[in-house]
Structure 1
Amino acid sequence: MTTMTAPVPRPPVIDQLAALVVRNLRTSARVPQLLMFSLTMPMAMLVLFSQVFRSVADSPSFPAGVSYIDFLTPAMLAVSTVMAGTNAGVSAAIDHTNGLHDRFAALPMRSALPGLARTINEAVFTLARAAILGVAAVALGFRFHGSAVDAAAAILVLVVLAAAMSALFGLIGDRMRRPDVVQFAGMMLMMPLMFVSSAFAPIDTTPGWMQTAAYLNPVAHATDALRGHVLGTATLADTTAALLAAALLWVVVSAGPALARRRGTR
């Protein structure tokens, strides 16, 4: 006589996602040194760049009536989000090294949930970095010239950009699976995302090819939108372009592995 074992019920997706998010936050908190550097590095860069490159504000092509700290702060919000994306890639590689992804594959949950949990984790730390960066910027003379709507829109642009960067670098971590290699690969990708934009100087002062490349860079669109909201000069077109560029990158990066898995099962 054979006995039949009832299948183990699968927990709701939202419970699985919440457990993964809590796990990621706890993992980050267990490495206070990395957490400290991740949160304070953008502040150090803001202080450094605002002092070294403030003469850029004397250029004829620089926006009239805008201080360099007001010009730079929104760019540093976008740049720090890109830098933090590399942490998501390294974390993904470490999970592969530790065999955690193999254990996830054996659990009754959707394969996309670990990546989504990483994205939520990065969004939380993005807001924390923005708060710390804002305090440092105010100490250097920064002033917010927008409205409450501008502030809300800027946060939305920043969170969507964080999701795109987390997905992009997380995919690199899933593919390369070695933290040291992922770190170097992340640096190679991070540099053009940061500097092929108007982050540190008006885009009109850069070579023509760089201006063309900036139109394809979601970080460039995010920088322009964030700066517009900070200065109170944002347009709907700039904000829409920033959201669409980041969302499109997130969709493409997130959908790629899913399509590959479907083709592999045929």
Structure 2
Amino acid sequence: MSTLSVAPSGGVRGLVRDAGIVAGRELRPLVRSPFSLIFGMIQPLVFLALFGPLLAGSLSGSSRGLGSDVWQWFVPAILVMTTLFGTSTVGANLLGEFLTGAHERMLVTPLSRQSLLVGRALKELVPLAGQAVIIVLVMLPFGFDLYPAGALLGLVLLTLFGIGLGSLSYALAVAVRRTDWMFWVVHQTLLFPLMILSGMLLPLETGPAWMRTAAEFNPLAHMVTAERLLFAGRIGEADVAWGFVAAAATALVGLWVGIRAMHRST
């Protein structure tokens, strides 16, 4: 592991600088071995190739007018799913650093503990952004329509959500560091119900009333709806605003919980 040598700093400028140092350190293995970016594409492309065609005949009843084109409905959901899986598992990397002592060595540097969290969260968004661009480019020849303004806002929305979820993942890793298997128990217990109740893979409009009601309290459901509207070029709809509210709330809660956990980390 490379040694970091920095002078103590404070304030917002110091936090930004320290977070940049941490993010750069975390990105070096990705730059040296970019194949991890390619391997990360396998799951979303498999879903698009095998699951997407099965949806073609089941979206006619989908609301908000997105059911006529399966790719306009499904590709944004796959981007959310990629962000969800990518950022919710980053705490496992921190568990590995606990075992090797790398995290403890970072704690004794002059870097602020907030930057250790923010820098790691920002690092995770770089490969996810690259994967999102590749997925969109791959789907363009298959009839997926790209609306650049909406797509850029969609990436901003994913970034907000990813920072919050990644921070929560790190906080969970700190909380269960002495029983690291609990990380995956909590992760799997929460992840799949949230996915199903988001309408990510199947439309909820035809589901039972209790599922539709539960989805209203699921921030991931608002995220998925907003991404579909943004990638359809429908920027001004109210559901887009609710998606940003859900993403911003996730980011604020995640950073608050994550920073508190990182300060208590020893």
Please give the range of the TM-score, normalised by the shorter of the 2 chains.
Answer: 0.7 to 0.9
User: 1:5: which partner in 2?
Assistant: none
Aligned partners of 2:205 and 2:99: how far apart in 1?
45
Q: 5 Å matches for 1:55-94?
A: 55-57=57-59, 59-61=60-62, 63=65, 66-94=68-96
Q: Work out the number of aligned pairs and report it.
A: 254
User: 1:10: which partner in 2?
Assistant: 8
Alpha-carbon contact 1:157-1:239 (below 8 Å) kept? no
Alpha-carbon contact 2:16-2:115 (below 8 Å) kept? no
Q: 5 Å matches for 1:152-231?
A: 152-177=152-177, 181-231=182-232
Alpha-carbon contact 1:88-1:169 (below 8 Å) kept? yes
- The CA deviation at 1:81 is 0.6
Residue-by-residue CA offset, 1:63-112 (whole Å, 9 max, x unaligned): 47621121101111111110111331211211222212212222222111
Whichever residue aligns with residue 150 of structure 1, its letter is G
Alignment gaps of 5+ in structure 1: 1-7
Alpha-carbon contact 2:95-2:173 (below 8 Å) kept? yes
Alpha-carbon contact 1:78-1:158 (below 8 Å) kept? yes
TM-score (norm 2): 0.83
TM-score (norm 1): 0.83
Aligned partners of 2:158 and 2:262: how far apart in 1?
30
SS of equivalent to 2:133: helix
Aligned partners of 1:261 and 1:117: how far apart in 2?
12
| Residue in structure 1 matching 2:145, options 143, 146, 149 | 143
User: 1:4: which partner in 2?
Assistant: none
Larger Rg: 1
Residue-by-residue CA offset, 1:180-207 (whole Å, 9 max, x unaligned): 5434432332212222112223321122
Name the CA shift for 1:220/1:71 in 2 (closer, same or farther; >3 Å).
same
Whichever residue aligns with residue 216 of structure 1, its letter is F
Residue-by-residue CA offset, 1:18-70 (whole Å, 9 max, x unaligned): 2211111123456656443223321222212112332213x444647621121
Name the CA shift for 1:171/1:112 in 2 (closer, same or farther; >3 Å).
same
Residue-by-residue CA offset, 1:217-253 (whole Å, 9 max, x unaligned): 2221111111112223343422221122122122122
More deviation, 212-221/21-30: 21-30
Alpha-carbon contact 1:92-1:173 (below 8 Å) kept? yes
Name the CA shift for 1:14/1:184 in 2 (closer, same or farther; >3 Å).
same
User: 2:121: which partner in 1?
Assistant: 119
Aligned-residue Cα RMSD (Å) equals: 2.7
Aligned partners of 1:118 and 1:41: how far apart in 2?
23
Whichever residue aligns with residue 10 of structure 1, its letter is P
Name the CA shift for 1:131/1:89 in 2 (closer, same or farther; >3 Å).
same
Does 2:105 align with 1:107? no
Name the CA shift for 1:208/1:66 in 2 (closer, same or farther; >3 Å).
same
